[in-house]
Amino acid sequence: MTTAGLRRPAPGVPPPTTDGLPRFAPSGLRLVRLYLISRRVPLALGLLIGLGALLWAALHWHWAVVGGAAARQFIPLTIESGTAAVIAVTTHGPFGEPERAAGRWLPWLRLGEAVAITAAAFGLLTAGATAGVLAGGSLAMLRNVGGMVGIGLLSAGVLGGAFGWPGPLAYLLIAEGALAHRSTTPWIWPTRLPHDRGGAICAGLVILAGLMLIAVRGPRESGRESGPST
Amino acid sequence: MTAATATPVRHRTPRTVGVVPLGFVRLMRMELRRNAMPWVLPLIAALFWFDSYRPSVGASPLYGLRTFWNLGQGHTILDFGPFVAGVAAWMGSRDGRRGLADLVTATARPRWAGQLATWAATAIWAVAAYLVFVGVMFAMYARQGVGGSPPWWYVADGAVGVAAFSAFGFAIGVYWPSRFAAPLATFGGFLAMAMSSQTGFGAADGWALILPTNSNGSFNGNPQADSGIFYHWLPDLPIARIVFLGGIALFMLGLTGLPARAGGPWLRRVAALLAVAGVALAGTGVRLAAGARVAAHGVIISALHDAADDAPLAYTPVCGPAAGVTVCLNPAYRRWLPDVTGALAPVLAEVAGLPGAPARAIQVPAAYIDPGSGGGPPQKITLGGQPPVLRLSLGQLDMPGPCGFCDRQVGAAGFANQLRLLFARAFVATGSGLGNPAQQAVQAALLQDAGIPFAAQPRLAQLAGNIPGPKPGPATGPVYAAAGRLATLPAAARHAWLAAHLAALRTGRLPLRELP
């Protein structure tokens, strides 16, 4: 294979497109589409739909662990942390260095993808919560999911995108322990009331930090740095 | 093409094959070195400290209570299992994620053998870490002077549980080589534990006893029992659980050997056999648990029960004097001997010399069920025998100090008052109830003389009986009026009256009006 047959386009002439549409919009959309596919977002959305359905089933059939607040919230919190774990894993990119070198839109793509899939997850879980009474309601769920996604993104930044999942699931255990022992620090926001400002601020700060880390620096890359995913 | 025929035929040197092939050992060494599990162990260690160890130190320093939360209710497995499943899924999906599945299938070693080496390395890391973490926790308990003996069978349960989680996660990874396999396996692990808790916390008998979070009848925290102190931790249920969890592990590993690329036909037949054996083992475990019954010392499964486990544990009691009466306790309760003698001394001094007054006091084991209680609440203190012996079932009481899931620590004064109330009830033979009005009045007078004012007694009775409800009313009425009259008598006169009327009082034939 040689470059003999290739011709450089004349200056000022846009490169030909396959579908005849203006250049920017389709290429931008194509970039977004390819980015989402490379992050396995369609599969992640399928899993999030499954988690929403699971929440629906749990509330519809009254799956509940007998006991105090920790026991009662165990199943909803597990589903919320599972959601955050799936979102965290979508940050993993397969291309590494070439993508970083060539993609100047990469920070925006990372940010947009994380925000969009979190919003989609919240919507799906809210739909699932219509089957019954969720402890704390949608507001508490928004706070919990948001904060846990933040932990997942931070975890992806530290351990690698593919290893973003232990963060939210470890937080689940910490939250359960705090609920069982009536600890009420705002950093363990599931222990706080839905309208509590402290819990909301802490969860907000965590997701903000997670989004910033993922947007600016991206997840830890395997091969570039040592980690569990190497 | 004559060159080929001219080339001398080279025969392959036969390999030396030992019991364990050298190649497999090398592979294992590589898998152990390249495993992702060590990366997650610091996180698990932190969670183990936070969720399993830290809450347990809030309980009384007795193994049955310290390990109720972490081993009885399965928190050590909860802290380990799901994460182990996640990492195992990551390891199981490795070749598929990296697009190497075809390449490794074409190697000399069957694919399944290589996968089993990967799983074994993951499980070795996980189980070794579990045993080390639990060992460190027990070492810290030992340094803190925790009484009794550790529930080793439940530790073995946990280790097999961790191995089962690793096999579960590994199978997910093998069948679904995706980046989402690890979080989904972890999530599945948590969900399985949640479901286990949902069923296990409520089910007191039947097949649900097999669930690793079920502490009913075998590991009760309340009412407390004396496993590992007066009698052995019964191994019946843990053995059934090991059979169950081992069966799940075998089934999962068998599943990984079923795909066509796993190996030759005979190897896949072995895998299928393993899966079937796993199902049979797990089913056997469930059947064993379904036939279990709760006895005084825990859960008994007839098919597994060894009569030697029913033998009481030998011990040398620790003794101390209380108003001239020797009080002897199990050495596991040594730290509370001064509290017990201090609490009993005033009431023992009051009744000294009276008919039926205890000649000595001994500690008796608390039991999971009390066959002598006739279905009612078990007696915490009884008095009987000739010469009369006071029998203290301290395992049923919240001892002074940290108290696990109580609202606050148990104070020495509160404990002493509770013990005095129980003694007074035992002395006038009211059993676990309040008794008739005359018996109530004598109890109240004895307690008043022992330093518990009438005003505090209704609340104390409510606390001792663990009766929920509104705050009890004031100490008024004919009972307290009679008690007041008895308490104001000179000690010698009261003593003489009790000596004369104690027999009638104990049988419940003495009416209130006959009190002085």
Residue A15 lies inside a defined structural domain of this protein:
no
Supply the DSSP symbol for B307. Answer: G
Asked if B166 and B205 sit in the same domain, the reply is yes
Q: How many CB pairs under 8 A join A and B?
A: 104
Asked if B303 and B284 sit in the same domain, the reply is yes
Residue A51 lies inside a defined structural domain of this protein:
yes
Supply the pLDDT for residue A101: 73
> In degrees rounded to 5, what are phi and psi of residue B30?
-65, -45
Asked if B255 and B337 sit in the same domain, the reply is no
Asked if B325 and B294 sit in the same domain, the reply is no
Number of domains comprising chain B = 2
How far is the C-alpha of B43 from the C-alpha of B86, rounded, in Å?
13
Residue A112 lies inside a defined structural domain of this protein:
yes
Assigned token pair, B365? 């084991």
Stronger pLDDT, A129 or A24, i.e. the higher one: A129
Structural domain of A150:
40-216
- With a CB cutoff of 8 Å and minimum separation 6, the contacts of B507 are B429
Supply the DSSP symbol for A189. Answer: G
Task: Give the gap in angstroms from C-alpha B99 to the nearest C-alpha of chain A.
Answer: 12
How far is the C-alpha of B474 from the C-alpha of B458, rounded, in Å?
7
Number of domains comprising chain A = 1
Asked if B385 and B259 sit in the same domain, the reply is no
pTM for the model: 0.86
Of B288, B310, B332, the last residue of a domain is B310
Structural domain of B368:
318-514
How far is the C-alpha of B162 from the C-alpha of B83, rounded, in Å?
10
Asked if B298 and B355 sit in the same domain, the reply is no
Asked if B198 and B305 sit in the same domain, the reply is yes
Would you call B315 helix, strand, or coil by DSSP? coil
Asked if B269 and B330 sit in the same domain, the reply is no
Q: Are strands B389-392 and B360-363 parallel, antiparallel or unpaired?
A: parallel
Asked if B290 and B258 sit in the same domain, the reply is yes
Supply the pLDDT for residue A3: 47
pLDDT digits (tens, 9 = 90+) for A46-80: 999 999 999 999 999 888 777 777 778 888 999 99
Asked if B193 and B55 sit in the same domain, the reply is yes
Neighbour-count burial of A204, counting CB atoms closer than 10 A to its CB (0-12 exposed, 13-18 middle, 19+ buried): middle
Supply the pLDDT for residue B20: 64
- With a CB cutoff of 8 Å and minimum separation 6, the contacts of B373 are B379, B432
Residue B12 lies inside a defined structural domain of this protein:
no
Residue B15 lies inside a defined structural domain of this protein:
no
H and E: helices and strands count for chain A: 8, 0
Assigned token pair, B437? 């009005």
pLDDT digits (tens, 9 = 90+) for A30-51: 889 999 998 999 999 999 999 9
* pLDDT tier for residue A94 given thresholds of 50, 70 and 90: confident
Asked if B38 and B182 sit in the same domain, the reply is yes
The interface pTM score, or ipTM, of the predicted complex is 0.83
**Strand partners for B391:** B362, B382
How far is the C-alpha of B381 from the C-alpha of B394, rounded, in Å?
8
Assigned token pair, B454? 């009438």
Residue B6 lies inside a defined structural domain of this protein:
no
Residues 67-96 of chain A with CB under 8 A from chain B are: 67, 71, 74-75, 78, 81-82, 85-86, 88-89, 92
User: Within B317-466, where are the H helices?
Assistant: 337-351, 412-427, 437-449, 457-464
Residue A45 lies inside a defined structural domain of this protein:
yes
Strands (E), B246-388: 293-295, 298-300, 318-322, 325-329, 360-363, 381-384
Inter-chain CB proximity B180 and A66 less than 8 Å: no
Would you call B107 helix, strand, or coil by DSSP? coil
- With a CB cutoff of 8 Å and minimum separation 6, the contacts of B1 are none
Residue B187 lies inside a defined structural domain of this protein:
yes
User: Could you tell me the CA-to-CA distances from B115 to A84, B105, B110, B190 in Å, in that order?
Assistant: 30, 11, 9, 25
Residues 31-90 of chain B with CB under 8 A from chain A are: 36, 39-40, 43, 46-47, 50-51, 54-55, 58, 78-79, 82-83, 86-87, 90
Residue B5 lies inside a defined structural domain of this protein:
no
Q: What angle do CA B328, B334, B336 make, to 5 degrees?
A: 90
Asked if B278 and B399 sit in the same domain, the reply is no
pLDDT digits (tens, 9 = 90+) for A163-202: 899 999 999 999 988 888 778 899 999 999 989 999 999 9
Residue A13 lies inside a defined structural domain of this protein:
no
Of B294, B310, B326, the last residue of a domain is B310
Q: pLDDT truncated to tens, each residue of chain B (516 aa)?
A: 444 455 565 555 555 555 567 888 888 999 999 999 999 999 999 999 999 999 898 888 999 889 988 998 889 999 999 999 999 999 999 988 888 877 887 777 888 988 999 999 999 999 999 999 999 999 999 999 999 999 999 999 999 999 999 999 999 999 999 999 999 999 999 999 888 887 777 777 788 889 888 877 766 655 568 899 999 999 999 999 999 999 999 999 999 999 988 888 899 999 999 999 999 999 999 999 999 988 888 889 999 999 999 999 999 999 999 999 999 999 999 999 999 999 999 999 988 888 888 999 999 998 887 666 555 556 788 888 888 999 999 988 888 988 776 667 888 888 999 899 899 888 887 666 677 888 888 888 888 888 888 888 877 877 766 555 556 667 678 888 888 888 888 888 888 888 888 888 888 888 888 787
Residue of B185, B51, B41 whose CA lies nearest to A173: B51
Residue A6 lies inside a defined structural domain of this protein:
no
How far is the C-alpha of B394 from the C-alpha of B378, rounded, in Å?
12
**Strand partners for B390:** B361, B383
Contact predicate B122/B93, CB 8 Å: no
Residue A23 lies inside a defined structural domain of this protein:
no
Of B264, B285, B310, the last residue of a domain is B310
Residue A224 lies inside a defined structural domain of this protein:
no
Residue B422 lies inside a defined structural domain of this protein:
yes
Contact predicate B62/B151, CB 8 Å: no
- The pLDDT of residue A7 is above 60: no
Residue B1 lies inside a defined structural domain of this protein:
no
Residue B224 lies inside a defined structural domain of this protein:
yes
> In degrees rounded to 5, what are phi and psi of residue A74?
-60, -50
Task: Give the gap in angstroms from C-alpha A86 to the nearest C-alpha of chain B.
Answer: 7
